[in-house]
Amino acid sequence: MKESQQLNLEFSPLVEQGFDLAECPRWDWRQKAWCWVNIPAGELWRLKDGKAESRQWNDMLGCAAMWGESGFVLGTKSGVYLLESWEAERQQIAPLVKTHPRMRFNDGRAAPGGRFMAGTRNGAKEGDQGQFHQLMAGGKLEKMPMFAWTCNGLAFSPCGKILYWADTGTSLVYRADYNPETGEYGESTVFCDLTDFDGRPDGASVDSEGAYWVAMYSGKSVVRIGTDGVVTHVIPVPADNPTMVALGGEKGDQLVVTSAESANGPGRVLTAQVDWTGIKEPLVTVL
């Protein structure tokens, strides 16, 4: 079996602000901007033309996906919302029906084919586990048989026909077949077991070669996994709790890693250059 390589990169802050729990970095190719969320504060951030600005709601914001020319679909504690433009008021598409007050949407993104997909998190770890949901036409949230106390690591292969997700608690990454045209999916099977690596798998992305990059929460690192399920690289990150990774920017080779606060300081949004490129993030088109 191949041994993973340690890849040392030179990270710098994308922005100077600190955050409680920065997550869901995305390269917005429509607006030539980097976007991310600060979950506890209900904030959607973007860095455009060198200026950082945010929108805020009194609702924990777990994830955001691009919609239309400048809008977003938001996955929050209370449900799924449409934000038609940066300046618009959000509109609820579907409520999150839950049995435990600490359940909220966590990791999510636009799936190939245009459906919004997101997993939930039950921070209490009692009652119902979190679960992935897919937004279908007509605003119906379809529950998917993918369960974890913290559903994470959602990403798709460049061809759009493989879905990846992570169970943070067990450090297992799964894969399943996916049909972008219909939204149908196959049974989840273990893709990679990360229990021997520092930290736990959190948010993820896929590069143009099909490799899966995942932030290792409490592990001060990002792990790159090849299409065969074998870890190729471990990348140290100057943050205690990396939460998610994205590849984008004008040339596609800009790595952005978000993180959560720790005893050593606030969460950050960090960036470095890499020798790989990301894939274009799809828009949500099915509502």
Length reported for the chain: 287
pLDDT at 200: 98
Whether 40 has a pLDDT exceeding 90, the answer reads yes
pLDDT at 264 over 60: yes
What is the pLDDT at residue 97? 93
pLDDT at position 167 over 80: yes
CA distance 18 to 20: 7
pLDDT tens figures, 182-218: 999 999 999 999 999 999 999 999 999 999 999 999 9
The chain-wide mean pLDDT, for the chain, equals 97
Which of 28, 107, 167, 202 is the catalytic position? 202
C-alpha distances (whole Å) from 72 to each of 15, 45, 259, 260, 284 are 21, 12, 22, 23, 8
- Please check the confidence at residue 2 and state whether its pLDDT lies above 80: no
- Identify residue 220 by its one-letter amino acid code: K
Segment 215-225, tens digit of pLDDT: 999 999 999 99
- Which pLDDT belongs to residue 3? 77
- What pLDDT shows up at residue 1? 47
- Can you give the pTM of this predicted structure? 0.97
In this model, does residue 17 exceed pLDDT 90?
yes
Q: What is the pLDDT averaged over residues 246-259?
A: 98
pLDDT of residue 131: 97
Q: Is the pLDDT of residue 84 over 80?
A: yes
For the residues 265-271, what does the mean pLDDT come to?
Answer: 98
Mean pLDDT computed over 143-166: 98
Please tell me the predicted confidence (pLDDT) of residue 208: 98
Domains along the sequence of the chain with CATH: 5-273 (2.120.10.30)
One-letter amino acid at 166 equals A
Provide the phi-psi class of 68: left if phi over 0, else alpha when psi is between -120 and 50, else beta: left
Q: Say whether 167 is catalytic.
A: no
